[in-house]
Amino acid sequence: MSVTLDHVTRTVDGLPTIRDVSLTLEKGTLAVLLGPTLSGKTSIMRLLAGLDKPTTGRVLVHGKDVTGIDVRRRSVAMVYQQFINYPSLTVYENIASPLRVQGKPREEIEKRVREAARLLRLEPFLNRTPLQLSGGQQQRTAIARALVKGADLVLLDEPLANLDYKLREELRAELPRIFEASGAIFVYATTEPSEALLLGGRTVCMWEGKALQIGETPKVYRHPETLRVAQVFSDPPLNVVGIEKRNGSVRYAGGVEAPASGLYARLSDGTYRVGFRAHQLEIGKGIPGRHAFPATVSVTEITGSESFVHLTRDSVNWVAVLHGVHKFEPGQTLDAVLDPDNIFVFDGADRLVASPASRWGDA
């Protein structure tokens, strides 16, 4: 089975929410819709489900045009952020409810509910009601109810967004196993790059209704085709600085000049923008082969295993992520250090021209 969006657009009250998106999903695969709020993730899911009809373009299921066909006539299940369960029913009955609507025999319902409960680790809770469950168990119940339908397409719209950190991490670790065991097409929407990386599959990088880049998740992360994709796929936000390369040297915005070593050596003379993620920015002095920038500490956030150091340089904010506990005082001046082999370089049209991945032929 396959599901295809063929050059779909959608306009609501004169405003475009989806702009010429084409996407094909195959059975047994996972697609992650990654983008900020209002980037079009939920709109894409509603088109896939048949809840909305595209303004232009087609929706195909296994090559057949199903544009405009009602969601009730499609093999689709959807899970939302909210814990949508029937509060008066037990977990067992919540999971069984779509099978009862389908008129399945009692033996089949029993078998499929038990299988879903085992997959989602809900077996000890089948006789409880949702209000007797934790948030993670409630969301597991909602996912189990979606899986038990046997739908060909399962849509998960930020299903972990309302869970606390510990529950989110537990379910994140379990979801790839659940997806693999199901065999359905899964589409998972998230605003968090770390979640996309953990889930794997293919990522559709969304921005203002456009699918900016589609590809295997690690490849999109390592080799963003544009500056905007790199920004969407970076948390904390991508650090950016302008440069000019001339006669074997690089001059950064703000006046720092250094030899055009590393990836810079490949560039033609001209102006570019350099992007680097927080973990690519170091703190220190006198590191051979690195480019150093005096910067002022705004604040340091310590999580325990990592320290997020917020820096200001020429009125531009950067963030560095350091392993371990590091305490810097606000107003303190230190050197932000950049490895010229560990950066993304974009041309005047913000297209990627050099990256660490391309250095190793992993483009």
State pLDDT tens for residues 164-220: 777 778 778 878 887 887 788 999 999 999 999 999 999 999 999 999 999 999 999
- CATH code of 142's domain: 3.40.50.300
Residues 173 and 288 both lie in one domain: no
What gap in Å lies between CA 207 and CA 137, rounded to an integer?
Answer: 32
Cα distance between the two ends of the chain: 30
Residues 216 and 246 both lie in one domain: no
Residues 224 and 286 both lie in one domain: no
What gap in Å lies between CA 304 and CA 239, rounded to an integer?
Answer: 23
Report the range of poorest mean pLDDT among 11-25, 137-151, 226-240.
137-151
Report the range of poorest mean pLDDT among 92-106, 127-141, 155-169.
155-169
Give the structural domain span for 75.
Answer: 2-230
Residues 162 and 78 both lie in one domain: yes
Residues 184 and 246 both lie in one domain: no
State the sign of the Cα–Cα–Cα–Cα dihedral 256, 262, 263, 265.
positive
Whole-model pTM: value is 0.90
- CATH code of 337's domain: 2.40.50.140
Structurally, how many domains does the chain consist of?
2
Residues 8 and 67 both lie in one domain: yes
pLDDT, tens digit, for every residue of 68-80? 888 888 889 888 8
Tell me whether residue 348 is exposed, middle or buried, using C-beta atoms within 10 angstroms of its C-beta: 0 to 12, 13 to 18, 19 or more. exposed
Residues 216 and 239 both lie in one domain: no
Residues 96 and 141 both lie in one domain: yes
